[in-house]
Structure 1
């Protein structure tokens, strides 16, 4: 067996190799250590402020605080829209062991609806688990009492209080006042586009219609903030700073709530509207549309069933008839047309026609009829308005032509927005050659002009336009813009805003205006006036014009028979008027759908509203006089 070969180790070489490896390792350690030191220096010194800011961003949060919404008052200081405390049932999901079981128990106890549960689930998915989510937004006193007695059974469930909008007059002011409701995705998109999203960071509701929407920026206020310290889970530990929100501005409207209630009472559920203004300023004293609905239904979220009921109602309660209802103005515009004829020189104060009950153009087979079958005999300008002679205005319209009629009536505000501070307004239609060509691709015919002469045909107008045009007439061309907003409430007093005016109308001859105004006086006060019966024995002197708007065309050989046609095809009753005649304080437009004649239906309603206005004004003057009388000295 051979001997094992022995290897001789070179200890010197191994020592040198170890030394080299040790040197390289130490060098690498020093390099990496240097990199760590440089990086630490960079983090701790160079980027200290940046990382401190980031750290504070994780530790300190800025939470928005919603402002209280401004209140709305009427012209006499009566509150029309207020903020009331409401109670909501809220759940913090993180603190509930079995959420499904808790909701089932709450449903049994509180009779929660499927809509409420669905809204809760949708909101819960958008919130962090430790934040409260409302499952019922408006608790009744009974709900509060029931839950309070059983609260010990529901960990993580509580009742919270907050302020919510409330409309004490309910359906009396809906179409004018509007309402607020929950902010939706469309609202958020608009707020972001306008750069106002940050100001609504903590706000739940926003104006959706009416004054609430139009004056949203004034009523909302400015959001406040609180700076809080939070832990790594986002929980608030303490408040570091607080910036108080600025409440929305309280506003006062021109609306007189008692006059508004009187208008509602007189319409008594019939379809129509009553618009009342102060012709001296354009201030809207009442604006009521019937039928109406309770806006409080929308504040906390209306159910789909209730909304469908409103949306699909054949009576259209969601429509603001005072500003969006489009009606043939009928005979209410005859005084306006007479003025245009006088100013254009087409007729004079001495112009007369012979009314036999029919009107016919040469070489035209069609016959136009007067509302009075046997006619009115010889009729001049003043009497044509007083008796509402159709034949006079057929002839006047023919002589004027549609171009001059359109130009003149545009000056009175027809076919355009009035400038009222509501978004819910229609321009309606003041037809012209161009309009008909664009709408129907047809030329304008003479027969179209004849119908326009009595406010029929393609022409339609809103009640707010009709009362505005009356004000322009009464003020002899001065044009006040109708306004709901009167001013701002400061220390319990109304600070009035300046009256807004449009450029005045051109007056060719003031005598023409006086003649037309006298004809409106005669309509109410002279023996043959169409509104005389309605205004007998008033303690004030008024003027006005009745109108009966026909909704379908009666054939040449037929007569209008109300009993033989559908209710929705019956005539609309209309009246526009003002008082006192020599110093107007109040102007009114009444429209009652499918009610029949204006003289027998709309005019009496206007009379009762005017009586109420002046009776109250007289009582107020008597009360003021009695308080100003000096007290007699007592006899010693």
Structure 2
């Protein structure tokens, strides 16, 4: 038993030796492998180790196009050659200067736009990078100890002698390098910065594209600019986009950055471009880059395909818009030529045409006389507010009927009213006995005065001249509430970044001012508000939101083809005026009388049976010599056909002097003629196509 145990113990060292030998072999192989990795593949594996996280950059895409109601392109994209720079992380100023010097051998930056933009600071930085040691030696070690890095750098630049930064001492090529570096310095990491795109030649584009390997971060690509086939027509309302240099507005940086924009992205800065930015912007192409710690890109792949912005289809017919512009411009010119006062005071004329049932804007025109030239100024349809005159009397009559201070068919004798010591107030002449219909037909001021007085609590009729009128100031808010139901004095709700609500005068205890308000001689309104007002009457009391957009389309499969409908702009009823339908019918009847036998009888005998209301508001303006000149705002609103309205309009010519030349009647008549002529022509074309 004892011998067997000793023999078994003698076998243990041998097994341990074998185990140690195996372990030794394994370590030897491992050491050899580590040697191979370190010596033969060390550099490749070190790059793998040095990899950072993957970064994603977003490449801009073309904006959506804008079409008119007949699918004619109104705003297009014009492709441009573009040279961009996308710095890697950790790129230093010295690196950008090297790129700038190389890039200067392929592209020219000698235009005034580039060279004039070179600042003293740009030159100082260039000189500093040319000889850093020499520049820094101008600051003593003692001075450096007291300064932060940024303050030290600032002092180094300041110590560069004045004569060294004289721009005239630099060659054209050096200035181009400085100009290029200035653009490169604007770039953010992994965000493409346009270096040059407005005048890149095909040769420059080809040379840069051929030498991209020598130009870290530089790319030859395509950019886009907005193009307007109809030139200036409707351009003011279309709006504009920021330039590459401007990028996103600084005051709205947080808004845009949280929505995936880059700082140098171009965005809509006004008009429909701004209002529909979210649709027009498109979806950026997203490229994922893998970089080393030194910033060198070693891999890239597209993770999101780019898609250009969605297209807008507007309600505006550009052929009709051009015709309305022509009519307004010709009538403005004629008024200035035929009337001496108008020649001194009349500066613009405005027209809005819309579908009263849907709110679709068919045309919006403003023509202005500026520095001896006639120019498009369609923004005035939304921005400029003017006294409307008697055009608002439809709202006044309805306010009187609905409030119960008058009844349908009630008569008042039209002769001047004198309150206390105030000057008498009357119509353009004594019109005799008039009811609500005749008051609209003949445009009686006195009838509206009695409505205002009665709403204020003064019920004496006829009013005893020279007496003091009873007046409850709450009548102001009551009257304005009625007017606001039509869109007068409030926003129309139009799809636009800004619109004026007009001027709202102070209310008070003066019955005379409320009388002025009742005839359109106190608060002021825009042409768009006036168009919505008359549309509400035409539309049986339904106030609809005016809009420029008809539909939004997906990008088409080709440049010539529209894509599928993404969204349609439906009719939106903002409110139904709180007035009896029989009262609305009565005002409609009164407007029809105006256009047949009343103050707008120029519209009589038209096949399209219009209804209308004229307006003349007294005003005054200073002429070129600073003298106060009496003027009149001439306006006209209406719709057609009377029995089934499909078009409504508002035209106004502020400060026309006197009404000897009836510019508002001529504009309205010609605009309606043009609309129905085009409509009839389109109907005939449709019939021919069907046949």
Indicate the residue corresponding to 1:331 in structure 2: 390
- Could you say what the CA RMSD is over the residues aligned between the two structures, in angstroms? 4.0
1:445 to 503, 506, 510: 510
Name which of 425, 433, 447 aligns with 1:392. 447
Report the CA distance between 1:239 and its aligned residue.
2.2
Paired positions, count: 528
Q: Deviations over 1:320-361 (max 9, x none)?
A: 2111111112111011111111122212233222334x3212
Q: Say if 2:548 is the partner of 1:484.
A: yes
Moved more, 224-233 or 76-85: 224-233
Q: Deviations over 1:149-169 (max 9, x none)?
A: 9999xx979975312222322
Per the alignment, in what secondary structure is the counterpart of residue 403 of structure 1?
helix
- Aligned position for 2:664: 602
- Shift of residue 582, structure 1, vs aligned partner: 0.7
- TM-score normalised by length of structure 1: 0.73
CA distance in 2, matches of 1:54, 1:182: 41
8 Å CA contact 2:494–2:545 kept in 1: the answer is yes
Alignment of 1:205-604 (within 5 A): 205-231=266-292, 233-268=294-329, 271-291=348-368, 320-356=379-415, 358-361=416-419, 363-370=420-427, 372=428, 374-401=429-456, 402-431=476-505, 435-436=506-507, 443-457=508-522, 459-490=523-554, 492=562, 496-508=568-580, 510-526=581-597, 529-533=598-602, 535-552=603-620, 570-596=631-657, 600-604=662-666
Pairwise CA distance, 1:113? 5.6
2:466 corresponds in structure 1 to: none
The answer on 1:176 being equivalent to 2:248 is: no
Give me the whole-angstrom Cα distance separating, in 2, the residues matched to 1:368 and 1:314. 40
**Could you tell me how far 1:544 is from its partner in structure 2?**
0.9
Q: Please report how far the alpha carbon of residue 195 of structure 1 lies from its aligned counterpart in structure 2 after TM superposition.
A: 5.9
The answer (yes or no) to whether the contact 2:64–2:312 under 8 Å persists in 1 is yes
1:196 aligns with 2:258: yes
- Taking structure 1 as reference, are residues 278 and 128 closer, same or farther at Cα in structure 2, changes over 3 Å only? closer
- The residue that corresponds to 1:8 in the other structure is none
How many angstroms does 1:87 deviate by?
3.2
> Which runs of structure 2 are paired with 1:30-109 in the superposition (5 Å)?
55-57=50-52, 60-88=54-82, 93-97=97-101, 106-107=109-110
- Name the residue aligned to 1:298: none
CA offsets 1:381-409 (integer angstroms, 9 cap, x no match):
11211221222222222222323211211
Q: 1:580 to 1:146 in 2, by over 3 A?
A: same
Cα distance in 2, alignment partners of residues 314 and 614 from structure 1: 30
For structure 1, the residue ranges without an aligned partner over 5 or more in a row are 1-50, 293-309, 437-442, 554-560, 630-636
The runs of at least 4 aligned residues of structure 1 exceeding 4 Å deviation read: 51-55, 88-93, 98-103, 110-122, 128-136, 145-152, 155-160, 183-186, 312-319, 561-569, 596-599
Residue 132 of structure 2: aligned partner: none
* 2-structure distance, mates of 1:360, 1:64: 73
Q: 1:125 aligns with which of 185, 189, 192?
A: 185
Contact 1:66 1:200 in 2 (8 A): no
Residues 262/98 of structure 1: CA separation in 2 closer, same or farther (3 Å cut)? same
Deviation at 1:132, TM superposition (A): 8.0
Quote the offset at 1:229 in angstroms: 3.4
Q: How far apart are the structure 2 equivalents of 1:168 and 1:498?
A: 28
Gaps of at least 5 residues in structure 2 are 1-45, 86-95, 120-178, 333-346, 457-475, 557-561
Distance 2:688 2:304 in 1: 51
Q: 1:161/1:116 Cα in 2 relative to 1: closer, same or farther (>3 Å)?
A: farther
Report if aligned partners of 1:87, 1:137 keep a CA contact under 8 Å in 2: yes
Report the Cα distance in structure 1 between the residues aligned to 2:193 and 2:280, rounded to whole angstroms: 26
SS in 1 for 2:51: helix
TM-score normalised by the chain length of structure 2: 0.68
Shift of 1:422: 0.5
For the residues of structure 2 that align with 1:158 and 1:222, how far apart are their CA atoms?
21
Q: Work out the CA distance in 2 between the residues paired with 1:241 and 1:353.
A: 79
* Offset from partner CA, 1:442-465 (integer Å, 9 cap, x none): x431221121121112x0111111
Deviations 1:71-112 (A, max 9, x none): 211121111222110234678753343999999x742xx454
